[in-house]
Structure 1
Amino acid sequence: MFNKFFFNYHLPKIFILINVRLISLFLFLHNFFLLYNFDEAPAFERGRNVIY
């Protein structure tokens, strides 16, 4: 009974929390990379500074 409750209730919640944190971490790192990567400008700034 406890195992059923655990696997049906806690496990999906844990996986959803881990996925949300991983996605937010990935987005944060990607934002950081786009901010400090000067070879490839972000998509919204690509039209403004076309030097090549």
Structure 2
Amino acid sequence: MTYIQIKEGFLELTTIIDLYDRKIFGWSLSNGMSTEETSIITRPIIRMMMVKWSLFR
């Protein structure tokens, strides 16, 4: 997670990167610094990654 300072406060940038392929699977930008908000956004991306990994086993 990366916090970006703006005039009104902070934005939280969350990225999920496949370290093997060095590709970005997804990203989210939110107003709050809440882990709950981030986890809700990243769950579908993690599911997609798990499907990809299961295809290559």
Query: Normalising to structure 2: TM-score of the pair?
Result: 0.33
Higher helix share: 1
Max Rg structure: 1
Higher strand share: 2
Q: Which of 1 and 2 has higher RCO (CA within 8 Å, sep 6+)?
A: 2
